Structure 1
Amino acid sequence: MLRRGHKKSRNGCLQCKGRHVKCDERRPVCMLCSMSGRDCSYASQMPSDSPLTTSTPSLEQSSPNDNDSEGGLTVPDITSFSGVSQSMINNCDDVALEKTINLSHMELLIHLTSTRDMFNLGDATNPYSDGVSLALQTALQAPYLLYQLLAFSSRHLVFLHPSKSTFYLHQAVSLQTRAVSLFNSSSIQVNSHNCVAILLFSTTLGHHLLADTLNRREPGGLEVFITHYVQCAEVHKGVYTITMTAWPLLMESDLEQTLLRSTRFTSRSPKGNHCQQATDLINSSGGLSEADKAACRLAIKYLQLGFDALLTSSEDQELEVRYQMIFLWAVVVPQEFTSLLSACKPEALIVLAYYALLLHYGRTMWQVGDAGEYIFHIIAEYLGAEWNTWLEYPRKTITTHWG
């Protein structure tokens, strides 16, 4: 690139001379000293009618040889009109010009603010723009949250643009890794100033990991899937722990109404009987302790709330979050149930098959797709024919829908 030549500054201030940068020689304070907050002083006085302070460059003052194009059009140096010279840009180490704007990140930011479907497994009652605005404002003081928001935006673009999925997936992983690294290195203690940022970070990370987990198709069948799902569930448990620990603080934050809606949803009494067969299995099982049975019943209760939300009339405004249990289930089920899944206990796997059915009902969600069908089939293959009776209801429903 051709660069405009310039004369050396002969009458610059002492501060710029000491820093070996080009001074614009403005009085009483030069531009660099003004921008960096330094004291500005000169060794000698300069005439007040100096061209640098009284004249304004015009288009005609640009040398034809500086920026010639093939068509003969002379392109003026825009720094001549802004009052900022190229040397100032090159040498000013105190101004926030150290990092160029990453256009890929700008794409993610624009996508985040303009695409409502990204968080369609969450609480959709509030206007999406309000929620994103709160998240971005909060992220200004919590960079780990900003990195995670951009990571999840890139993860959504993996789904929208399959031809560029490798690029967006790599970007999502890199940004998420950076987010987690920043969060872990901060040794953060939850308080009134950061509780919103921490919860938003944990929740967004949970949504991201769930999308990753539901889209995995790796060799190894059920055991490999269970490993990834349990890891995802552990992060979700972290969300729950943070929420409970900071509950009094969060009730005084902008998230109060959102959290109260989720609490009302999960504290309802189940209405349907879609999970009755799973309940019968747990009640009659001789291989589970009473504590294990209680954990399975609680997991089933939340699944039934998910089916109620999906299959009940949408006239109830609370049911605008009809797919929310797909995300919340890993958050609210007890740790004892997750441990049963880790051990691949058959009864727990039957309950998981009903979660697969819930996923199947939500197959239009970008995070889900055919995950319900896939998970159900690897469960059925793992358990074998002796457990077919207990899988009859989810199998019939999934087969009917895909037939």
Structure 2
Amino acid sequence: MPRRTHKKSRNGCVECKRRHVKCDERRPICSNCVSSERQCQFVAPAPSVSSARASPSTSHEFASASPATSSPAQEVTSAPAGFAQGSPVNLLHVELLHNVLLESAKWINAREMSSGLSFPDMLKIGLEAPYLLNMLLAVSALNLSITTRGRRDFYRHHATQLQNHALNNFNSLSPHFDQDTCIPMFLFASILGLHLLCDTIVFREGTFEGFLDRFVQYLRLHQGIRTITAEGRWEYLRETKLKPILTFGEKLPSMDSGFGPVCGALYERIQGAEKDEARLKIYRQTIQALQVVMTAIDSKYERLDALVAWPVMISPKYVDLIASRQGEALVILAYYGALVHPSRGHWVFQDGGQFLIESVTQYLGHAWSEWLEWPWKALT
């Protein structure tokens, strides 16, 4: 009997190839990497003008971005009309820059930036810090993937490619925090956090378990902003053009200002169920951060800024509780979803708040329904 031929796929992730195991090619994180908690990365296929859309995969750690296989300007999939192959000018990047200049006023922190550091100023800084320029182009492409009908896959592919290129460039330089690098490093970390929040909460693929894995990766990376502002660096940054942006944190209510009725009731419920004092302390700090966001919104503070601040304020230990699927931790996440839901018209969030509330409810089951009554009121 003739031997059955086997067609070998070459589209598996880098980690599975290295380990010589069969990859199920599930994106953005394959099943093998989810179960073994490894960094999953897919190499983009060779460019083809006539074909194929590459499903994006997102790097989630500063130190583990995979090497770029080509320059973003060299790799094109399904090029837009008017794009000439071999042209000395990459019209896609011109389009992305134009989108930054045209639409960035609608993005987060735009008002604070306009009083000290505009997006055109960022572009000028980016010419000396290519990782920042690539990150600006990446978030512009992500914005277009959501706001431009019929081009979702095309722009998201390039958003991911530019993000990975920015991470690789940042890691290869390993810039030291000083007077020359403090501004581009801080802006890079902030824009990267915004990019990953949107990419995670809007582009949901696979199961809720898979989403939680990606959300945990996002939270851990976003909190890298703390590293940049730690050890007295905040005061150093406040002497730069970033001062109008940094005063945002000073306008937020204090973490010690006490609970309102909603957060107070949530904490009392958790206090009555949680016997571990260390975990209870983590939950209290997380709900305090939630209260800060609620108070800021009720005080007519910029809602989007407050929503993006919450992932930075929460404790890394709370992120670990999400990773271990603790019910109380997921309930708090649903409360955050209730705060996000009113901003569903903004491109960064879309229907992410509704998704969090509905998915947490389904995941935890009927036994937790009373815990989730308040988040559900946001949907009615």
TM over 0.5: yes
Contact residue 123 and residue 324 of structure 1 kept, 8 A: no
Amino acid aligned to 2:170: F
Equivalents in 2 of 1:265, 1:136: separation in Å? 29
> Which residue of 2 is the match for residue 389 of structure 1?
370
Matches within 5 A, 1:79-94: none
Equivalents in 2 of 1:310, 1:119: separation in Å? 17
Q: Deviations over 1:128-177 (max 9, x none)?
A: 89421331121121000000000100100011112111211111111111
> Which residue of 1 is the match for residue 331 of structure 2?
350
> Which residue of 1 is the match for residue 25 of structure 2?
none
Deviation (angstroms), 1:308: 2.2
Deviation (angstroms), 1:255: 0.8
> Which residue of 2 is the match for residue 169 of structure 1?
156
Equivalents in 1 of 2:104, 2:189: separation in Å? 19
Aligned to 2:190, which of 182, 203, 224?
203
Contact residue 277 and residue 390 of structure 1 kept, 8 A: no
Equivalents in 1 of 2:199, 2:238: separation in Å? 31
Residues 1:108 and 2:96 are matched in the alignment: yes
Deviation (angstroms), 1:271: 6.8
Instruction: Indicate the structure (1 or 2) with the bigger Cα radius of gyration.
Output: 1
Cα RMSD, aligned residues only: 2.1
Aligned to 2:281, which of 283, 289, 294?
294
Contact residue 344 and residue 352 of structure 2 kept, 8 A: yes
Farther off after superposition, 266-275 or 203-212: 266-275
Q: Deviations over 1:215-248 (max 9, x none)?
A: 1332222x21111111111111101211124223
> Which residue of 2 is the match for residue 220 of structure 1?
207
Equivalents in 2 of 1:187, 1:252: separation in Å? 23
Amino acid aligned to 1:153: S
Contact residue 112 and residue 244 of structure 2 kept, 8 A: no
Equivalents in 2 of 1:311, 1:284: separation in Å? 28
Equivalent residues, number: 293
Equivalents in 1 of 2:248, 2:139: separation in Å? 24
Equivalents in 1 of 2:365, 2:115: separation in Å? 45
> Which residue of 2 is the match for residue 52 of structure 1?
none
> Which residue of 1 is the match for residue 79 of structure 2?
none
> Which residue of 1 is the match for residue 219 of structure 2?
233
Contact residue 271 and residue 308 of structure 1 kept, 8 A: no
> Which residue of 1 is the match for residue 291 of structure 2?
304
Residues 1:182 and 2:163 are matched in the alignment: no
Matches within 5 A, 1:34-183: 100-116=88-104, 119-120=107-108, 122=109, 124-127=111-114, 130-183=117-170
Percent identity (aligned): 32
Deviation (angstroms), 1:125: 3.2
Residues 1:331 and 2:331 are matched in the alignment: no
Amino acid aligned to 2:127: L
SS in 2 for 1:218: coil
TM-score normalised by the chain length of structure 2:
0.72
Q: Assess, with a 3 A threshold, how the Cα gap between structure 1 residues 266 and 201 changes in structure 2: closer, same or farther.
A: farther
Q: Assess, with a 3 A threshold, how the Cα gap between structure 1 residues 376 and 117 changes in structure 2: closer, same or farther.
A: farther
Aligned to 2:348, which of 362, 367, 370?
367
- For structure 2, the residue ranges without an aligned partner over 5 or more in a row are 1-85
Equivalents in 2 of 1:130, 1:226: separation in Å? 35
Q: Assess, with a 3 A threshold, how the Cα gap between structure 1 residues 382 and 304 changes in structure 2: closer, same or farther.
A: same
Equivalents in 2 of 1:164, 1:261: separation in Å? 34
Equivalents in 2 of 1:118, 1:205: separation in Å? 17
Contact residue 148 and residue 179 of structure 1 kept, 8 A: yes
Matches within 5 A, 1:233-312: 233-245=219-231, 246-265=233-252, 267=254, 269=257, 272-287=260-275, 289-312=276-299
Amino acid aligned to 1:106: V
Equivalents in 2 of 1:225, 1:329: separation in Å? 19
Equivalents in 2 of 1:257, 1:129: separation in Å? 6
- For structure 1, the residue ranges without an aligned partner over 5 or more in a row are 1-97
Amino acid aligned to 1:132: F
Contact residue 138 and residue 159 of structure 2 kept, 8 A: yes
Q: Assess, with a 3 A threshold, how the Cα gap between structure 1 residues 165 and 370 changes in structure 2: closer, same or farther.
A: same
TM-score normalised by the chain length of structure 1:
0.69
